[in-house]
Amino acid sequence: MDRREFVKLTAMAAATAAAARLPVADAAPPASDGVRWDKAPCRFCGTGCHVQVGVKGGRVVSIAGDRQAPVNNGLLCVKGYHVGLALYGRDRLTRPMRKQGDKHVPISWDSAVDLIAQRIKKNPSGFAMYGSGQWTIPEGYAAQKFIKGGLSNNHIDPNARLCMASAVTGFIGTYGVDEPASCYDDLDAADVIILWGNNPAEMHPVLFSRFIDRRSRGERVKLIDLGTRRTRTTAFADHYLCFKPQTDLAIANGIAHLLLRDGTYDKAFVEGHCNFRHEADGKPHLFGAPMTFDAYRKALDKYTPEYVEKLSGVSAADIVMLAKLFGQRDLRITSLWCMGVNQHTRGTALNRLIHAVHLLSGHFGKKGDGPQSLTGQPSACGTAREVGTLAHALPGGRIVANPGHRKQCEELWNLPEGRINGKPGHHTVAMWEAFSTPTSGGGDIDTLWVQVTNPAHSLPNAGKLFKPSRELADKFLIVSDVYPTETTREADLILPSAMWVEKNGMFGNSERRTQQWFKMVDPPGEARDDAWQTIAVARRLYDLGVEGMRDKDGKFLFHMQDEHGHEVPVWDFRRYYGSVNVDEQLFEEYRKFSRLKHKDLAPYAEYVKARGLRWPVVQRGDGTWRETSYRFVEGEDPYVAKGKGFQFYHSTSKDDRAQIWFNPYEPPPEAPDAEYPFWLCTGRVLEHWHTGTMTMRVPPLRRAMPGAYVEMHRLDARKLGLENGDMAAIETRRGRLELPVWIGGRGAAPEGSLFVPFFDEHVLINELTLHEHCPISKEPDYKKCAARVMAVRRA
Amino acid sequence: MPTTGLVVTIEGDEPSIAIATGVLGALAGVTLGTLHGARCPVVVETDDLAGHERVLQAVQRVSGVLACELAFADFSDVQDPAGGRVGPRREGVQHGSS
């Protein structure tokens, strides 16, 4: 058999095994012709699919769905298919470069590290790091320790602030602790799936395929799409409920109103396990104040189906239909949401209300029956939320404002008492405002280091938050990335980074699953790991005598030693991969933080063997490690006491109860008017991930979706004299762009609405979006602002 | 010569599925495996990435195809995976190395 024939048979065997759902002993296809296989989670979204990566001659040459991975059962979406090619764009960054005039010129790593260290030493409190949910767990942990444990200023925030911060505050306000209680297993058991402003057919296609698979096998699964535009997902929905932007708050309250009015709420569950909560004085508050059941009922009084219909445009009959579903105890209902709920000026409130509807109706804690928020980045949960790279957070669910938490971290890090600053650092919007404001005008950030993200493209209202800094002589922007981006273009210093399987890594996905992989190929040129970059700068500061880089015994903050107890100088890249596994040492240190909030992690070696494990992961009597599918549920969660049934053991009311919140509908900060008569919504498309820096380098993906467009309704287009392909100018109060019109494409905006994807660097739609944000989570609203449209010319 | 193993999910009753698999099987470069309910294993083999892309798009356009997912992809003998004709990136975003 020749090699081609072997490869073809391997492809057929893999496809057949996946199609037939055959149990398999081997995770990867058989080795052939020198191809070596190893596991890694996909580089792209927050689903956390595992791939098998085939390497030959130092290059990734094959990709297969990992047949032992419970998340994806051997299957991948179009982005996962191309994940190997994302490494091989022709314009990878390969050398550190410093801006001189209008050009970037190469400099040595040594000079680059020294330049950063000198700037930090000069003004440590004016230094900030901006990372992402694409940081691996060890990378984020190193950055977090460097800033909070070393520089004591807390100015570190991830771009996850822009995508899931409202989910965090929603979980904390409801359960007292972050992250979903349920998991993806729900998709295999739900009778009804309700999508709250969510388009999984494009954004989380492998999860959506579980639903398609069930339907194709004849299972009756009802899909309800609550959205502001038709998407690919809508085509599969039994009910599409199109609501006016922002009125999702009213819809959730309308369901709760009917559950109480009709007596169909789960009285036993509510009385046994829930309290009621609101923002007593009407001011936004993370924890709020208690309210009685009667006061809760009264607050919901006005959310009659007719009132909700008037606000939302969803018919009273459909509101009743939703409430009837939630009122049925024998149904299993899964709610899914992502950016539509989180990127919302009342994102925290809406997250709380979705939880509230599930708690009130008792649809919680059973397989297929519960609320499950999704994330957009591969380690938004693992790195941003669990490691705590948010400006107010510390590892393992701790916060900087809590003296006890600071003390615990100082002890675990062996730091002198008082090293960690109790004042939260700048959150994303505030950080970039400070960087874009002259120092003389109070802009207290003068050096900003960006890793693993592209803020010039992805920040909202970029003309206000990003661009001004580039005109200020004393503001210095450092960017670590793998490809040239809008942000590297404006950077004062560019650092080339290793990507995905060019380095060791760990991610944490949307269902609390921690995943690990090993480096498989070398990065190009002088590209290096982001964690190494952080450690190297920290070491240079240590050598310069900066006290914060020492623990209380005088040891380096990132002191690492080999199995013989000898210190290994991992700040020297030649020693970074050698006698120690830096990821393992960082993870084992971080793991100690994970027990306070019952997010227990297993030893690194367990993740090497597994396709991820969902925390809390606890050790059994026989020494093996057990993951947890459902939190707060007796028999599932090891921390629920026997006989309790459900136990919300981090309850904010300290009585093991979850909080059912009331939050009123509030109008958006900006809505269409006579001058700007359209709603503008932004988002992603199937082929491209976020700002397209990786997927736009993959020719098939780029050809499939080469550029951004404005999706609009046929009648709106006709009124403006626009046809498919014509150029239209989109204007908001913040900027103007020209885009081709797409009518009747894969999505369909209702009359009066526009949709523009944000992946395209040619048309930076975020120069037009709002930076108004949820007052609690500080997450901006990319999903709605007012815009106007004008015809430009015939294409 | 890129080679892909796909799982194609097809909607409808048996006759509809049979029609769809007939159309799929007639596509150049496509080999069908044994149908498992509504799921059909499909291998796509073409001379280059661009041709592969065209066949994959054709597979997804076949009436009745609900989902098309990847199980295996080999591009070990693709000479320049980043090559092929694509539009220019934004002028000025490229950084010179000298």
Preferred mutation among B60, B65, B76, B86 to probe A, highest tally of A CBs within 10 A: B76
State how far the alpha carbon of A203 is from the alpha carbons of A134, A353, A669, in Å: 16, 23, 27
Give which of A72, A202, A213, A696 to mutate to test B binding, by max B Cβ within 10 Å: A213
- The DSSP bridge partners found for residue A581 are A577
Question: Which pLDDT belongs to residue B83?
Answer: 64
Give the closest of A13, A17, A97 to B95, CB-based.
A97
CB A734 within 8 A of CB A463: yes
Question: So what's the pLDDT on residue B82?
Answer: 67
Half-sphere CA count of A744, side-chain side, radius 13 A = 7
Backbone angles phi and psi of B82, in degrees to 5: -90, 0
CA distance A790 to A719: 10
* Fold of the A678-793 domain: Barwin-like endoglucanases (2.40.40)
* Other beta carbons within 10 Å of A191: 17
8 Å CB contact between A120 and A541: yes
Return the ∠ at Cα A730 (arms to A728 and A734), rounded to 5°.
Answer: 160
Q: Do A216 and B69 touch (CB under 8 A)?
A: no
Assess A107–B contact: CB distance below 8 Å, yes or no: no
Query: Under an 8 A CB cutoff, do B41 and A7 touch?
Result: no
Active site residue A619: no
Instruction: State the amino acid at position A417 in one-letter form.
Output: E
Q: What is the DSSP string of A75-126?
A: -B-HHHHTTTGGGG-TT---S-EEEETTEEEE--HHHHHHHHHHHHHH-GGG
B25/chain A closest Cα distance in angstroms: 14
Of residues A19, A64, A74, nearest to B40 (C-beta): A19
Cβ-contact B40, B7 below 8 angstroms: yes
Q: What is the reported pLDDT for A745?
A: 87
Residues of A in contact with B67 (CB under 8 A): 205, 209, 212-213
CB contact under 8 A, B36 and A14: no
Spatial distance between the Cα atoms of A479 and A499, rounded to a whole number of angstroms: 14
- Sign of the C-alpha dihedral, residues A620, A625, A628, A631? positive
d(CA A482, CA A484): 7
CATH topology of domain A103-150+398-496+530-547+562-575: Rossmann fold (3.40.50)
**CA–CA distance, A675 with A739 (Å, rounded to integer):** 20
**Nearest residue of A to residue B74, measured between CA atoms:** A62
Active site annotation includes A696: no
Q: Which residues of B touch A95 (CB under 8 A)?
A: 97
What is the rounded end-to-end Cα distance, in angstroms, of chain B?
A: 36
Give A701-750 pLDDT, tens digit per residue. Answer: 888 899 999 999 999 999 999 999 999 999 999 999 999 999 988 899 99
Residue B50: pLDDT above 70? yes
Task: Please compute the mean of the pLDDT values over residues B29-35 and round it to a whole number.
Answer: 96
A377 is catalytic: yes
Q: Which pLDDT band, with edges at 50, 70 and 90, does B92 fall under? A: very low
Q: How far is CA A540 from CA A131, A569, A571, in A?
A: 21, 12, 9
Q: How far apart are CA A117 and CA A476, in angstroms?
A: 12
B42 contacts on A by Cβ (under 8 Å): 15
Measured in degrees and rounded to the nearest 5, phi and psi for residue A476 equal -120, 120
Query: What count of Cα atoms within 13 Å lies in the side-chain half-sphere of residue A255?
Result: 25
- On the 0-12 / 13-18 / 19+ scale of CB atoms within 10 A, A385 is buried
**Which residues in chain A come in under a pLDDT of 70?**
1, 25, 27, 31, 793-795
CA–CA separation, A12 and A30 (whole Å): 12
> What's the pLDDT score for residue A795?
47
The torsion angles phi and psi of A624, rounded to 5 degrees, stand at -80, 165
Q: Does domain A165-374+658-662 have CATH number 3.40.1000.10?
A: no
The partner residue sitting opposite B38, judged by closest CB among A216, A488, A699, is A216
Question: Are B67 and A88 within 8 A, CB to CB?
Answer: no
A376 an active-site residue?
yes
- Cis status of the peptide bond prior to A616, with omega within 30 of 0: yes
According to DSSP, the β-strands at A785-793 and A727-732 are antiparallel
Q: What angle do CA B24, B27, B31 make, to 5 degrees?
A: 70
Rounded to whole angstroms, how far apart are CA atoms A267 and A287? Answer: 24
Q: Which residue, among B98, B84, B76, B83, has the nearest Cα to A90 in the 3D structure?
A: B83
Residues of B whose CB is below 8 A from A53: none
Take residue B40 and report the two structure tokens written for it: 């059909």
Burial class (CB in 10 A: 0-12, 13-18, 19+), A795: exposed
Please tell me if residue A61 touches chain B, with a CB cutoff of 8 Å. yes
In a 3-state reduction of DSSP, which class is residue A134? coil
The residue whose two tokens read 């490809």 is: A483
> A731-747: buried (b, 16+ CB within 10 Å) or exposed (e) per residue?
bbebbebebbbbbeeeb
Residue A338 appears among annotated catalytic residues: no
Fold of the B3-74 domain: Alpha-Beta Plaits (3.30.70)
Domain locations in chain A as residue ranges: 3-88, 103-150+398-496+530-547+562-575, 165-374+658-662, 678-793
Q: What is the DSSP letter of A324?
A: H
Contacts of A218 (CB under 8 A, 6+ apart): none
Angstrom distance (rounded) from CA A67 to CA A50: 9
Q: Which of A11, A16, A697 sits opposite B3 (nearest CB)?
A: A11
Q: From CA A576, how far away is CA A528, in angstroms rounded?
A: 10
Residue B53 pLDDT exceeds 80? yes
Catalytic site residue from A376, A382, A683, A692: A376
- Could you list the beta-strand ranges (E) of A228-332: 239-242, 274-278, 289-291
Q: For residue A447, what is the DSSP state? A: E
- pLDDT one-digit tens code per residue, A117-168: 999 999 999 999 999 999 999 999 999 999 999 999 999 999 999 999 999 9
DSSP H/E element including A36: strand A36-41
Q: Do B41 and A12 touch (CB under 8 A)?
A: yes
Radius of gyration of chain B from its Cα atoms, rounded to whole angstroms:
17
Please say whether the structural domain A3-88 has been given the CATH code 3.30.200.210: yes
In chain B, domain spans:
3-74
User: Can you read off the two tokens belonging to residue A606?
Assistant: 């367990």
CB contact (8 A) between residue B52 and residue A74: no
Interface contacts A/B by beta carbons within 8 Å: 186
Q: What pLDDT shows up at residue A793? A: 63
Cβ distance A15 to B53 less than 8 Å, yes or no, reads no
Instruction: Name the token pair of A748.
Output: 């369909």
> Active site residue: A42, A54, A79, A683, which one?
A79
Q: From the list B36, B69, B76, which residue is nearest A62 (CB)?
A: B76
Closest CA to B10 of B30, B40, B43, B44: B40
- Please give the structure tokens belonging to residue A181: 């209680």
- Return the closest-CA partner of residue B62 out of B15, B13, B26: B26
Structure tokens at A74: 């051997």
